[in-house]
Amino acid sequence: MGLTRHDPARTSFRALDDAGLRLPVQLSFNKVGDTARYPWFKLTSMVKCLEELDRVNLLLPAQSWEQSQEMLGTYWARFRSQYPTHEVFGLLTMEELQMALPIKLHGDEGKKKSPLMLLSWQPVLGRGTSKSVQQPLEVQNAAQKLNLLGSLLLTRWLLFAALKETYSECPSALDDAMAMVLEDLNFACHTGVAVNLFGQSRRLRFVAVSVKGDWPFLIEAAHLERHFRRAPKRERSDMCSNLGVCHLCLGGYQGIPYEDFAEVPQWEQTMQSAAAMVPWHSESPWHSLPSLPSFRPWTFRPDIFHNFHLGHGRYFVSSALEWLEDWLTDDMVAELSQQDRRVAFIALGVQSMNAALRLLYRGGAWLAAADSASIAFFGLEHLRAYKKLAQLSIDAREPRFPIHCKAHMLNHTFRFLELWAQQVEWVENPLADSCQIDESFVGVISRFSRRVSPRMTILRTYDLYVTALRDRVHQGHDDASVLE
């Protein structure tokens, strides 16, 4: 990771620096794996940099301090109502929380197309979704806005990037990175960042409320022992691997099928058991994030985008289309229903999931209890229709509609929505933990990394990032850009 004098990219970037073309955010250097001084961006450094440019308001949920405080107060009151025992309420007073931005941490462990591992953060509250902004303003404000809309570089903020080879050769690299991020986050939570905001000196705090990412990242970040890779290859409940496929419950253990979509599933009763509470093989730095003492695995959230759009939904669509190809020749669907019972369940599966997703995207950061109950109803109806399709296909000896562990994670999501709807007035929208926009962010940073010499990848990627970020910070959000 050393710098060389003869790198042409370095010379040109020094010129950019001199001309003030990069965002002047300070890089920090810590030991990561075998590298003594690994560069990364502290959250607190990014906030201080935005302060120098008088743009800290980019992070706030509203355009005035009073409105932002009111919104943060509402956020934390609802959060407390849903999670009364959460550790954050032992760390900060409600008064301090009125100046504390809830954030999510996102990680991506790199794929074939993007060989970078990234860590980033994002405020929970933002500018809404393309569907929610069509709602009347008072409805949007009451539900508070999700952070899925606006310019990518102003809604997600980079912490750390590493080449796949760096961390695959050095198992401690991710833990080291998470530990240094944690230290900075602890400071940002306990002490806060002193900033001049709207002409006054204030102390802005940041609290990470959950960690999101695709399942492989969650496995690495939380040191998970129970996850989808433990599932038996042939997905049938009588072939449980007895290792568990889910970090939230004991689904997948002998006699506890994870494909149980019943009204009160058997796996749900295992969630509070001592065995279910420790789904990891060792401590991870991010286990120390403020959490629910009675349910620590909940820091690491299932993600609707990976579990449905890139997971279970694909099985549903491919199986249904394959089935349709055989049948949809000249006859009408009505006739088909009489010939194959699956037609009705396919139709129900499509309608119910569409209804659930429509309500989710129309919602804000918080779902009114009635909406939460409706989403749960439709989502669970979809899963039960799917299970029926799986059973009918087994009866017909056709290998269609497999039930993957991702369907189990969706079951958790919808069941939580159902239970919370009975307990609180406002329920966290699970889309706040969904990763579609984060995947786009990873794509942008990865494209930077492909434009630079392999020898200097990380530093030059950071250079391109802060150069692009400088323009974006000065221009503000481009309202034409819809990123979902």
H-helix or E-strand spanning residue 39: strand 35-40
Q: What one-letter code names the amino acid at 421? A: A
Site for Zn ion in 251-310 (CB under 5 A): 251
Of 116 and 248, which CB lies nearer to Zn ion in the complex structure?
248
| C-beta of residue 378 within 8 angstroms of C-beta of residue 211 | no
Of 416 and 465, which CB lies nearer to Zn ion in the complex structure?
416
Collect all residues with Cβ–Cβ distance below 8 Å to 289 and sequence separation of at least 6.
105, 182, 185, 208, 211, 299
Of 248 and 365, which CB lies nearer to Zn ion in the complex structure?
248
What is the rounded radius of gyration, in angstroms, for the C-alpha atoms of the chain?
23
229: which DSSP letter? G
Segment lying near Zn ion (by CB under 5 A), choices 116-124, 126-134, 184-192, 247-255 = 247-255
- Please give the full DSSP string across 57-107, using - where no structure is assigned: GGGSSSSSHHHHHHHHHHHHHHHHHH-TT-THHHHS-HHHHTTEEEEEEEE
User: Using the rule CB under 5 A, is 240 a contact of Zn ion?
Assistant: no
- Cα–Cα dist 132/432, whole Å: 13
> Which of 240, 246, 390, 452 is close enough to bind Zn ion by CB under 5 A?
246
Task: Give least dist CB 412 to Zn ion, A.
Answer: 5
> Which of 204, 219, 249, 376 is close enough to bind Zn ion by CB under 5 A?
249
User: Using the rule CB under 5 A, is 407 a contact of Zn ion?
Assistant: no
Segment lying near Zn ion (by CB under 5 A), choices 66-74, 185-193, 242-250, 344-352 = 242-250
Segment lying near Zn ion (by CB under 5 A), choices 31-39, 185-193, 211-219, 246-254 = 246-254
- Cα–Cα dist 150/441, whole Å: 12
Site for Zn ion in 60-89 (CB under 5 A): none
Q: How many residues sit in the footprint of Zn ion (CB under 5 A)? A: 4
Q: Which residue is nearest to Zn ion (CB)?
A: 246
| C-beta of residue 42 within 8 angstroms of C-beta of residue 184 | yes
Query: How many residues does this entry show for the chain?
Result: 484
User: Using the rule CB under 5 A, is 248 a contact of Zn ion?
Assistant: yes
Task: Give least dist CB 258 to Zn ion, A.
Answer: 6
Site for Zn ion in 172-231 (CB under 5 A): none
Task: Give least dist CB 267 to Zn ion, A.
Answer: 5
Binding site for Zn ion (CB under 5 A): 246, 248-249, 251
